[in-house]
Amino acid sequence: MIRTENIVKSFGDNDVLKGITTEFYAGKPNLIIGSSGAGKTVLLKLLIGLFQPTSGKVYYDDIDLFSLSDERLREIRMKVGMLFQGNALFDSMTVGENIRFPMDMFTKMTLKEKEKRVDECLEMVNMEGVNDRYPSEVSGGMQKRVGIARAMVLEPKYLFCDEPNSGLDPKTSILIDELICDLTTRNNITTVINTHDMNSVMGIGDNIVLLKDGNLVWQGDKTQVLESKSSVLQDFIFASPFLRRLREDALKQRHAQE
Amino acid sequence: MVVTNMLYNLGRYVNLLRDAFSRPEKFSMYYKETMRQMDAIGVGSVFIVLLISVFIGMVTAVQFADQLGDSFVPSYYIGYIVRDITIIEMAPTITCLVLAGKVGSNLAAEIGGMRQKEHIDAMEIMGVNTAAYLIMPKIIAAVVVIPMLVAISAFVSIIGGYISTVLPGTISHTEYVLGLRSFFVPRYVFMMFVKAAVFAFLLTSVSCYMGYYVKGGSIELGQASTNAVVVSDVLILVFDFLIALLLT
């Protein structure tokens, strides 16, 4: 579990996060949503420790992330996997070498053991047999899956995904969501996903945190979204007239069933 | 404002170097990366160094031969002057100024590109000390390989001098070789290697620093690359003077 306590982050005079207190649970996908500029990416980078908060604390289970020495922080980070918006795959390495990199750096496994683990991870994301291809030689959706495989290679306790669906078609987006959700529940990982994608919210949102102007304005799960009276949530998720109509229809249907 | 900015950058540069020279996570990975960099910096720069060096030697010899004209200075001095000017100044300084342009801009662009594509963030999150992994092997590789390039440069310049003066018949082979063997001061060779190592350290560390802290997009990356070359060149000239003062 990851817990934040009154996180404030300012860049000069600009307060980007204004006291966020929340929890992200293990074994379920935790979604951070909000419009552009709401502070999602800053919160995610704070959770990972790439930014220092102006004030407040981040706890990994009971460990205060920002009280750790650089060396201890690196130890914690070895339990963290991250899927970047742009994948951040190393262009000069093949898919197999990308996935193997964390093992090369931190383990004493033999080459054979590492290659076996690479194959397992590629199988996990349904990408067998692409070890020798370069990232530029596979599609965007495949790159995402390679990114997930690399994030999972050291069996992380915490997984962070920054906009995992950006640039993907709806069908591939759903596949990526299902994959992340499956890995999260199967391995009891604390997964935090930063997303704009409403399919993700309604599909895998077991714990949703809505940010607006640096404030946490709503928290709940996907089953509570339809019924929620929060105008900020409704304006954000059901932004188009088409989606608003869909919501009304869904609510009518639900009330009729009741 | 300029002074504050300089102090800020100096402090950040020193901190980055401190991080860069901390204990490696895994020695074998750093060794592999250092070898790769030696190949990129060393082997990748041999051709340009040879080309420049041969011309430097040729021009120095021709110009000096012209200066001598019909004076009473013995013509074998051409070999002597080409040798000393090459070893003391031309080989280390000109080679490193050129390498600051070739290698320095490349390093700044490579690391800056990694920063912009979030590769550095990805490594940080994996627990890699990125300053050490990305910078230390480059500096070590450069400090080992660039003095070798400078030695090659000195040798080739002397051959250049030979080509431009002995082959057209300005002086004889015997005179040129006599010049090369006259008044030799071994300390100058030591000075050449000191200069080469110091310049190698400066041009790689400054270029890596410029790339590591790049922000923004392609324009900023271009600026970082240019700044890497300009600052490295200025520092090479300043340290050239300081080393000359200390070792002469």
Q: For residue A110, what pLDDT is reported? A: 93
- Phi then psi for A179, rounded to 5 degrees? -65, -50
CA nearest B116 in A: which residue? Answer: A88
Rounded to an integer, what distance in angstroms lies between the CA atom of residue B56 and that of residue B64? 12
Rounded to an integer, what distance in angstroms lies between the CA atom of residue B45 and that of residue A162? 40
Query: How many pairs of residues across A and B have Cβ atoms under 8 Å apart?
Result: 51
Q: For residue A242, what pLDDT is reported? A: 81
Question: Pairing between strand A190-194 and A29-33?
Answer: parallel
What does each C-alpha distance from A25 to A205, A209, B202 come to in angstroms?
12, 12, 48
What does chain B come to in residues?
A: 248
Contact A75 B125 (CB under 8 A): no
Q: For residue A175, what pLDDT is reported? A: 84
CA angle A35, A37, A42 (to 5 degrees): 110
Q: For residue B99, what pLDDT is reported? A: 95
Contact B122 A106 (CB under 8 A): no
What does chain A come to in residues?
A: 258
Model confidence at A243: pLDDT above 80: no
Rounded to an integer, what distance in angstroms lies between the CA atom of residue B115 and that of residue B135? 13
User: Shortest CB distance from A105 goes to which of B25, B121, B125?
Assistant: B25
The upper half-sphere exposure of residue B51, i.e. CA atoms within 13 Å in the direction of its Cβ, equals: 6
Reduced to 3 states (helix: H, G, I; strand: E, B; else coil), residue B217 is coil
Contact B126 A105 (CB under 8 A): yes
Model confidence at B86: pLDDT above 80: yes
User: Considering the domain boundaries, does residue A211 fall inside one?
Assistant: yes
Tell me the DSSP string of A137-169: GS-HHHHHHHHHHHHHTT--SEEEEESTTTT--
User: Considering the domain boundaries, does residue A109 fall inside one?
Assistant: yes
A12 confidence band (pLDDT: 50, 70, 90): confident
> Does A102 touch chain B if contact means CB atoms closer than 8 Å?
yes
Q: Which residues contact B51 (CB under 8 A, 6 or more apart)?
A: none
User: Considering the domain boundaries, does residue A230 fall inside one?
Assistant: no
Model confidence at A78: pLDDT above 90: no
Mean pLDDT of chain A: 88
Query: For A137-172, what is each residue's pLDDT tens digit?
Result: 998 888 988 998 998 898 899 999 988 888 778 888
User: Shortest CB distance from A84 goes to which of B118, B128, B129?
Assistant: B118
Model confidence at A106: pLDDT above 80: yes
CA nearest B123 in A: which residue? Answer: A102
CATH number of the domain encompassing residue A22: 3.40.50.300
Report percent pLDDT > 70 for chain A.
100
Mean pLDDT, to the nearest integer, of B10-24? 93
User: Considering the domain boundaries, does residue A228 fall inside one?
Assistant: no
Q: Which residue type, as a one-letter code, is found at position B34?
A: T
Q: Which of B19, B39, B118, B129 to mutate to test the interface with A (most CBs of A within 10 A)?
A: B118
State pTM to two decimals: 0.85
> Does A90 touch chain B if contact means CB atoms closer than 8 Å?
yes
Model confidence at B120: pLDDT above 80: yes
Alpha carbon dihedral A146, A150, A155, A157, in 10-degree steps, equals -100
> Does A86 touch chain B if contact means CB atoms closer than 8 Å?
yes
Mean pLDDT, to the nearest integer, of A50-63? 91
Q: For residue A155, what pLDDT is reported? A: 87
A73 confidence band (pLDDT: 50, 70, 90): confident
User: Shortest CB distance from A50 goes to which of B124, B126, B127?
Assistant: B124
Q: For residue A76, what pLDDT is reported? A: 86
End-to-end CA distance of chain B: 36
User: Considering the domain boundaries, does residue A152 fall inside one?
Assistant: yes
CB A184 within 8 A of CB A28: yes
Mean pLDDT of chain B: 93
Number of domains in chain A: 1
What is the extent of the structural domain holding A188? 2-222
**Secondary structure letter of residue B91 according to DSSP:** I
A256 confidence band (pLDDT: 50, 70, 90): confident
User: Considering the domain boundaries, does residue A256 fall inside one?
Assistant: no
CB contacts under 8 A, A 189-218 vs B, are none
Q: For residue B125, what pLDDT is reported? A: 86
Min distance A80 CA to chain B CA atoms (Å): 7
Contact A105 B121 (CB under 8 A): no
A62 confidence band (pLDDT: 50, 70, 90): confident
CA nearest B19 in A: which residue? Answer: A70
Query: For B139-192, what is each residue's pLDDT tens digit?
Result: 999 999 999 999 999 999 999 999 999 999 889 999 999 999 999 999 999 999
Query: For B27-77, what is each residue's pLDDT tens digit?
Result: 999 999 999 999 999 999 999 999 999 999 999 999 999 988 778 888 889
CB B50 within 8 A of CB B132: no
Report percent pLDDT > 70 for chain B.
100
User: Considering the domain boundaries, does residue A186 fall inside one?
Assistant: yes
Contact B125 A74 (CB under 8 A): no
